[in-house]
Amino acid sequence: MVEEIELKLALTPKAMEALRRSRLWRSLGAGRMRRQRLVSIYFDTPDRLLAKSGCALRIRHDGQRRIQTLKIPSAGGGELHRYGEIETVLEGDRPDLSVVGNSLPRLLPLGRLRGRLLPVFHTEFERRTMLVTMKGARIEVAFDRGAIVAERKRAALCEIELELKTGNRARLYELALALSKLAALTVERRTKAARGYTLADGGKAPVPRRAEAIALDRAAQAGAAFVAVARSCLDQMRANEACLGPGADAEGVHQMRVAVRRLRALVACYRDWLAPDVHAYLSAKLRRFQQALGPAREWQVFIAGTLAPLAEHLPNNAPLTAMRHAAQALREGAALTAGALPGERTYTEFVLTLALWLETDGWRAPRAAAEMARPASVVAAAILLRRYKRLRKFGGKDANTLSEMDLHRLRLLGKKLRYAVEFFSALYPRRPVRRFMDMLSDIQDSLGALNDAVVNRSLLARIDHSLATNTARAAHARGLVQGWEAARIREDRQTFAEVWRRFRRLAPYW
């Protein structure tokens, strides 16, 4: 078995041709490009045992040769595709499992595959390859253009594969960044096999990804903790890209925005140890992403959380109906903006740049090397204590005396502390962490109506502008919304008073 490490980049045929003809690309290449016409048939059982285990089994037709390849996922991180690969030259067109040996995952014995393998889909494409040498690394660059076919269904295929032959993995990211300056491209998360299964099995709608638990060893260093948490945030961002755009699941926009906020919170936690240019870059880009995603989520919450229940109490109210139609139109425009984000060049460059920094420790300030080598639990305790003290000081003994804007700010501080608690939760006993998390969630929930009201002020101003031809109707609807919000805020402030008293009595667990 050999290990395959590659980075996939998706682009349009026009962009591919422009890139191949560019002067910079020709300067990178070593020799002429090799051209092949490849057809690969992918096999699996009817119940998709290979796909469920993350494996892929194919027979590739390369001229007269038949090459069987079994790909088995290996541990890794970042945006790279990493597989253990077993290749065998075959005489026929049927899989031969006798050459696999004991390489399959433990939960997938050969006996469950023999006699049950059937063709599921195939790929057909032209491949042009060239070897590139970059800072001591040898990288095979493959331009693939063709289609994935499952019975009568076809999906276009146009991508670049950067496969590391020898050298440092960081060179893959650096080469991809160089190529991204020549043509519009995106980092492709899915393998050809994954796209083939989606096509064959009916193209299921993407499922929004929530933040997953972060596995940190209690003996981990602070620098390793940063890398693990950042990769978790970036993975959540990328997993929700397909959930954006018009008609997309509202939860997908929410989870994408949560991922951006989590990453912003992590950058703030580690600010003292980030290189200044890294901190400036991450802060600026993440702020820009949040601005692109924010309105889509805010309109969703306004429509579902305020206008819909208000309409139930006041059915057939013409000004309210007009406001709802205006809000839905504005939401659709915001959804278009959010959906365009993953295709932006700045977004692709951000993904590649952050992945490169995490691979090389390029995020870290040189003076912070010793601090980042300390136990993660020590640094985490300092981060948590700093955020905890800031929240308590801002709220004071009786936070209920704060203005609405100050309470909105307090809620944001509580959310940032909650993110930090989540980041380092694996370093501490589960029960006290859970108790503390629940309390922070109660703070957020008890100020939810107030948070919505603060956000809705800017939305109402935009609706007023949209309904400018009928200012009386707009004013009437705005008055209904503000009255509804006032009643909810009054109720929430009463709940919050008790929540804050309980929070002040709760001792930190770190």
Residue 69 has pLDDT above 80, yes or no: yes
Residue 109 has pLDDT above 80, yes or no: no
Whether the CB-CB separation of 463 and 323 falls below 8 Å is answered with yes
3-state secondary structure 171-214: HHHHHHHHHHCCCCEEECCCCHHHHHHHHHCCCCCCCCCCCCCC
Sign of the C-alpha dihedral computed for residues 217, 220, 223 and 224 taken in this order: negative
Give 443-455 pLDDT, tens digit per residue.
999 999 899 999 9
- Please state the separation of Cα 201 from the chain's center in Å: 24
- The CATH number of 2-200, from 3.40.50.800, 2.40.320.10, 3.20.20.150, 3.40.190.10, is 2.40.320.10
Mean pLDDT (whole number) for 109-136: 91
**Which residues of the chain are in CATH 1.40.20.10 domains?**
222-505
pLDDT at 469: 60
Following CA atoms 287, 293, 194, 360 in sequence, which dihedral angle do they give, to the nearest 10 degrees?
0
Rounded Cα distance between 455 and 194, Å, is 40
Q: HSE (CB half, 13 Å, CA atoms) of 471?
A: 0
CA dist list (Å): 228 to 32, 220, 285, 350: 40, 10, 20, 17
Give 468-498 pLDDT, tens digit per residue.
666 788 888 999 999 999 988 988 888 999 9
What does the mean pLDDT of the chain come to? 92
**Which residues of the chain are in CATH 2.40.320.10 domains?**
2-200
Give 190-212 pLDDT, tens digit per residue.
999 999 999 999 877 789 999 99
pLDDT at 212: 93
DSSP structure string for 356-402: HHHHHTTTB-GGGHHHHTSBHHHHHHHHHHHHHHHHHHHH-S-GGGS
Q: What is the topology classification, in CATH, of domain 222-505?
A: CHAD domain (1.40.20)
Rounded Cα distance between 341 and 289, Å, is 7
> Tokens 């096509």, residue?
199
Amino acid identity, residue 19?
Answer: L
Following CA atoms 380, 383, 384, 387 in sequence, which dihedral angle do they give, to the nearest 10 degrees?
-170
Amino acid identity, residue 305?
Answer: G
Ramachandran bin of 504, using left for φ above 0, alpha for ψ from -120 to 50, beta for the remaining angles: alpha
pLDDT at 201: 92
If you average pLDDT over each of 88-97, 324-333, 376-385, 468-477, which comes out highest?
A: 376-385
Whether the CB-CB separation of 62 and 127 falls below 8 Å is answered with no
Residue 107 has pLDDT above 70, yes or no: no
Residue 461 has pLDDT above 60, yes or no: yes
Sign of the C-alpha dihedral computed for residues 408, 411, 412 and 413 taken in this order: positive
Whether the CB-CB separation of 67 and 85 falls below 8 Å is answered with no
Give 383-422 pLDDT, tens digit per residue.
999 999 999 999 999 888 899 899 999 999 999 999 999 9
Helix (H) or strand (E) holding 215: none
pLDDT at 464: 75
pTM recorded for the entire structure: 0.94
